Amino acid sequence: MKFGRAICVATALLGAGALAGCTDNQNINAATGALVGAAAGNQIGGGSGRTAATLLGAAAGATAGANAPTN
């Protein structure tokens, strides 16, 4: 079950990277990345670690989105 969840999260993160680079606005890219990263972290985390995984996912997503190349 964990392997299937990891595949789903990896696919979501790849899609987020593609989506985050669709605008020229770095703030929108960062927000999009944070939302997708938080959703992915929420899927990975379990029990009491779910909140930490969600926050780490949001931080990683925001960083990736903010640094995504723009058009």
- pLDDT tens, residue order, the chain (71 aa): 455 666 666 666 666 555 555 677 888 888 888 888 888 888 887 888 888 888 998 999 899 888 887 76
What are 40's two structure tokens? Answer: 């992915």
Instruction: Tell me what pLDDT residue 28 has.
Output: 86
47: left (phi over 0), alpha (psi -120 to 50) or beta: left
pTM across the whole model: 0.67
**Dihedral, CA of residue 35, residue 36, residue 37 and residue 42, to nearest 10:** 90
